[in-house]
Structure 1
Amino acid sequence: MCLLSCQNTTESEQELIGKAEIEQQDDLGEILNKNKLTVLAENSATSYFIYKGHKMGLEYEILNEFAKEIGVKLEVKVVKDLDEITTMLNEGKGDLIACHYTVTKDRKRKIDFSLPILRSAQVLVQKKPRDWRSRRKKDWEKEIIRDPAELSRKEVHIWKNSSYYDRLVNLQNELGDTIVLKPLSGDVIPEDAIEMVNKEFIQYTVVDDNVAKINQRYYPDIDTELEISVKQKIAFGVRKSSPLLRKKLNAWLVDFMKSSTFNYIKHKYLNISTYTSRSKSNYSSIGGSKISPYDKIIKRVSEKYAWDWRLISALIYQESQFRLNQQSWAGAYGLMQFMPSVGPTFGVYPDSPPSVQIDGGIRKITKNYKEWESIPDSTQRVKFAFATYNAGIGHVLDAQRLTKKYGKDPLVWDDNVELFIQKLSEPKYYHDPVCYYGYMRGSETYNYVESIFIRYTEYKTAFPEEDE
């Protein structure tokens, strides 16, 4: 379809049209080229949270399957203020929105949406009478709201820029009476508002039924039975300038939502209480401030050697997932996965306590970091150090020499040395005269460094320090 007159279009106009088409078609290609899909999410059980260093959440697990399908890494940016999430998407700070986002006409003017992954009615959240356990339900129900008309003249605290707020405005018109709406800012997510009702800081709020069900298992004293809307579509937000990403995601969702994997993910978060408990655990980015049982040790030892404890935590998770007695097929052991020939050099043995293992591991990382004094940028230098920790300095030096030979920058890991370390599994490259250490599975080292830094970014947003 030609929107402008094809015969009368000037050469410059044709160039502009062609440029716009290229930009529009480049959205999915860019994600594939950078090997990363970035998701803007809220810190919640329905969206995304971290439990004992492990990434979880209903929408996270769905999108992680999609990322695997298109062959890229999934990076999550936790958005503290949901009022900013659409702007952040349109500014290119993320590729998708995943925050249990309701499809509305107003939002569709600003962004596009995927196919709906869930449908959910909005429900009123209120506190049950304190003695409800000792009474019959039909008796204590008389003391709470069971008809939307009873919301007249009641104060309801609710996120201002939400579909919940819009629904209550419409409900006022339907009732012909006033509901006293108390706006909440975007940094108070629905799960926070539910907790505020539970603690009796506020009397009423409105959330999606799915969110209410998950949280009611954790807060049994709240009531969420009153529906105030029809079931609405919940979907992923997509930039209007990303039609290929949306098309690819939708085509995948058509089949994925028929799969047992999708049904299990939904069942796991909406019906199994174990996962709700995890989201509220002290080791959760929602309910607590701990990444692992070893946080105190990691913080103390990291400070001793001037490392960010969250970066070290990301490294330890990559190595052992915080399993103290972890042992690999190759014989690597412990939290930091020392090889038997290396561990004793740093005073670390399979039966060493966590403090000794972590101290030894950070001393080795520090040694690797010092080996790369030639790297001027500190972040790039850390990546060289981590690659060395994983593969040994010899293979990284081979990749660096190949990088220089083929005209790239040997002092930069990103998009330079990381490209050639992946080629060290190909005879053409590991037989090159500049390579002294032979074959290696370079993709493993590439993924190792990439995964640690993606996890580090997520840890920083989920567990911020006071000075950030």
Structure 2
Amino acid sequence: MTVFFRHSKHLLASLALFSVLGMMLAMRPTPTAMERVMTRGELVVMTRPSNTTYYQDQHGYTGMEYELAKGFADSLGVELRMLESDDPSYIRYAIRKGTADMAAAGLVATAERSESLHFTTDYQKVDSLVVRRLDTPRIRGMEDLTGKRVAVAAGSSHAELLVKAQLENPGLEFQEVEEASPEQLLALVEDGQVDYTLIHSNNYSLQRALWPELIADYTAATDMPLAWAFNPKDDQSLYLAAQRYLTQAKANGTTAKLEDRFYGHVEQFNLYAARSFIRHLEDRLPRYEELFRKAEGNSGFDWRLLAALAYQESLWDPGAISPTGVKGLMMLTNDTARQMGISDRTDPAQSILAGADYLRHTHDRIPARIPEPSRTWMALAAYNVGFGHLEDARVLTQSQGGNPDNWQDVKQRLPMLANPAYAGQLRYGNARGGQAVIYVRHIRRYYDLLVWAENSRRRDDTLIALN
């Protein structure tokens, strides 16, 4: 009994100690959402890979959502880590589960989603468009989809729209495709597997040139707010910080500048030009792709940027020649050819490698302090109009209170180089600077299309299977 009593005293003491520790742990406050981010030193964001949200180009990861999220992480003084998913339902689940701190995935803040997610103020508004083939009957109301083959991404805001439309049109049926990207849905429509799909207007404006046989001429919903999403069960510390950041981004022009950066170079659609691009993408580019890739290794430029430059110059025609005598895929002058040490401007290999080297030479002359992508856009402008004329435009920009190291500001002054009123301020004389702005805009457009084409049906014949 004595031994048992001694052990019992130790047991009681241990239980008392555990009880005190338990009470102390219970009394310790749970870290706030902001504290978890700051302690971790990292903001974890769920996103959806897309040309409107998050993708990779020659300068690394970019996209409207990425740049906004990166700006928010920088404002907090932490690193940004992106997690990807094509499934809107999983993105919502991951936020509620705590896998990520927030979602920046081009999510529309619908009433249904707001029941399970806490949305910020919107940073952009989009419309929901119905897409069809040009040979498919045009619809004038959602009731016209009754009896038609319609497919949308599972768990998307488009699916919610169609569910609501079914209340007034019980015969309307549609299929929800799991983890379907907009590109895959557009491919289903183009290939005739379905008659219609729905797409957001911002995505459509960027994608349309890749799908010239498709058209979106009916708007199912307007002014749908895109917003960031948070776990409603969390405290509001991180959410309120995001609200403040987005409000400030709107007020100081950050959001507008990003919209101009990602959508400002998208031109009015031209069906003939789009059909020509797709035809050349499939027929001509494969002949020279390896040469562009080799030039990437030599120059450090993304091969798709070099291909976009060549398409703007020659439509990938090695025999192209202009009235002024420039020739070849990269349309080099005699002086540039001699400077780059090549003998035959019409030889594809010589032309591509020389053009890439010349762009690198021009890029290296641009002050290193100028950040990307502005430095590359300025190098392309100089490739077209000449380095001296670019410098004149930068001087004009600075004298007028703009930022000479920012392409958005400089491109506004380039057309002034042709205005006689500014002749006295130009060291290198008048020039067709407005043409250089259009030139860069076209190359940016072709480059974006080539980047997205690699991630779409255009460079991969594998289609998603419909159930």
Check if 1:180 corresponds to 2:173.
Answer: yes
3-state secondary structure, aligned to 1:155: coil
Cα distance change, pair 167–251 in 1 and its aligned pair in 2 (3 A)? same
Cα distance change, pair 98–127 in 1 and its aligned pair in 2 (3 A)? same
Residue 260 of structure 1 aligns to which amino acid in structure 2? G
| 2:393 corresponding residue in structure 1 | none
| 1:269 corresponding residue in structure 2 | 262
1:123-134 equivalence runs, <5 A: 123-129=129-135
Offset of residue 273 of structure 1: 3.0
Q: 1:216 aligns with which of 208, 226, 229?
A: 208
Would you say the 8 A contact 1:119–1:233 is kept in 2? yes
Cα distance change, pair 230–13 in 1 and its aligned pair in 2 (3 A)? farther
Measured in 1, the distance between the counterparts of 2:64 and 2:193 equals: 28
3-state secondary structure, aligned to 1:99: coil
Would you say the 8 A contact 1:217–1:273 is kept in 2? no
Residue 107 of structure 2 aligns to which amino acid in structure 1? Y
1:306-321 equivalence runs, <5 A: none
| 1:254 corresponding residue in structure 2 | 247
1:157-180 per-position Cα deviation (integer Å, ceiling 9, x unaligned): 0123122112112112223x4112
Relative to the length of structure 2, the TM-score reads: 0.51
1:233-261 per-position Cα deviation (integer Å, ceiling 9, x unaligned): 21111122152111001011111112232
Greater RCO (Cα-Cα under 8 Å, separation 6 or more):
1
Q: Percent identity?
A: 17
Offset of residue 115 of structure 1: 1.3
Residue 263 of structure 1 aligns to which amino acid in structure 2? A
Would you say the 8 A contact 2:45–2:83 is kept in 1? yes
Would you say the 8 A contact 2:126–2:225 is kept in 1? yes
Check if 1:119 corresponds to 2:112.
Answer: no
3-state secondary structure, aligned to 2:140: coil
Cα distance change, pair 179–18 in 1 and its aligned pair in 2 (3 A)? farther
Cα distance change, pair 268–71 in 1 and its aligned pair in 2 (3 A)? same
Check if 1:168 corresponds to 2:162.
Answer: yes
1:164-210 per-position Cα deviation (integer Å, ceiling 9, x unaligned): 112112112223x4112112102x12232123323433221112222
Measured in 1, the distance between the counterparts of 2:128 and 2:206 equals: 14
| 1:30 corresponding residue in structure 2 | 36
| 1:154 corresponding residue in structure 2 | 148
Offset of residue 93 of structure 1: 2.3
CA RMSD of aligned residues (A): 4.0
Would you say the 8 A contact 1:111–1:237 is kept in 2? yes
| 1:71 corresponding residue in structure 2 | 77
**Matched residue count:** 274
Measured in 1, the distance between the counterparts of 2:121 and 2:294 equals: 41
Offset of residue 18 of structure 1: 5.8
| 1:198 corresponding residue in structure 2 | 190
Measured in 1, the distance between the counterparts of 2:39 and 2:22 equals: 29
Relative to the length of structure 1, the TM-score reads: 0.51
| 1:139 corresponding residue in structure 2 | none
1:343-400 per-position Cα deviation (integer Å, ceiling 9, x unaligned): xxxxxxxxxxxxxxxxxxxxxxxxxxxxxxxxxxxxxxxxxxxxxxxxxxxxxxxxxx
| 2:237 corresponding residue in structure 1 | 244
Cα distance change, pair 17–207 in 1 and its aligned pair in 2 (3 A)? farther
Would you say the 8 A contact 2:205–2:266 is kept in 1? no
Cα distance change, pair 266–85 in 1 and its aligned pair in 2 (3 A)? same
Bigger Cα displacement from structure 2, 92-101 vs 211-220: 211-220
Offset of residue 126 of structure 1: 0.9
Measured in 2, the distance between the counterparts of 1:192 and 1:267 equals: 26
Residue 167 of structure 1 aligns to which amino acid in structure 2? L
Residue 143 of structure 2 aligns to which amino acid in structure 1? A
Cα distance change, pair 22–255 in 1 and its aligned pair in 2 (3 A)? same
Measured in 1, the distance between the counterparts of 2:188 and 2:226 equals: 24
Cα distance change, pair 154–218 in 1 and its aligned pair in 2 (3 A)? same
1:46-74 per-position Cα deviation (integer Å, ceiling 9, x unaligned): 11001135111111111111112111221
Would you say the 8 A contact 1:190–1:207 is kept in 2? yes
Offset of residue 324 of structure 1: 8.4
Cα distance change, pair 14–189 in 1 and its aligned pair in 2 (3 A)? farther
1:373-429 per-position Cα deviation (integer Å, ceiling 9, x unaligned): xxxxxxxxxxxxxxxxxxxxxxxxxxxxxxxxxxxxxxxxxxxxxxxxxxxxxxxxx
| 1:233 corresponding residue in structure 2 | 225
Q: 2:48 aligns with which of 32, 36, 42?
A: 42
Cα distance change, pair 198–22 in 1 and its aligned pair in 2 (3 A)? same
Would you say the 8 A contact 1:102–1:233 is kept in 2? yes
3-state secondary structure, aligned to 2:43: strand
Residue 219 of structure 1 aligns to which amino acid in structure 2? W
Bigger Cα displacement from structure 2, 152-161 vs 82-91: 82-91
| 1:420 corresponding residue in structure 2 | none
Measured in 1, the distance between the counterparts of 2:24 and 2:147 equals: 59
Residue 258 of structure 1 aligns to which amino acid in structure 2? A
1:402-417 equivalence runs, <5 A: none
Q: 1:81 aligns with which of 80, 87, 103?
A: 87
Would you say the 8 A contact 1:38–1:95 is kept in 2? yes
Cα distance change, pair 81–22 in 1 and its aligned pair in 2 (3 A)? same
Cα distance change, pair 90–267 in 1 and its aligned pair in 2 (3 A)? same
| 1:105 corresponding residue in structure 2 | 111
3-state secondary structure, aligned to 1:231: strand
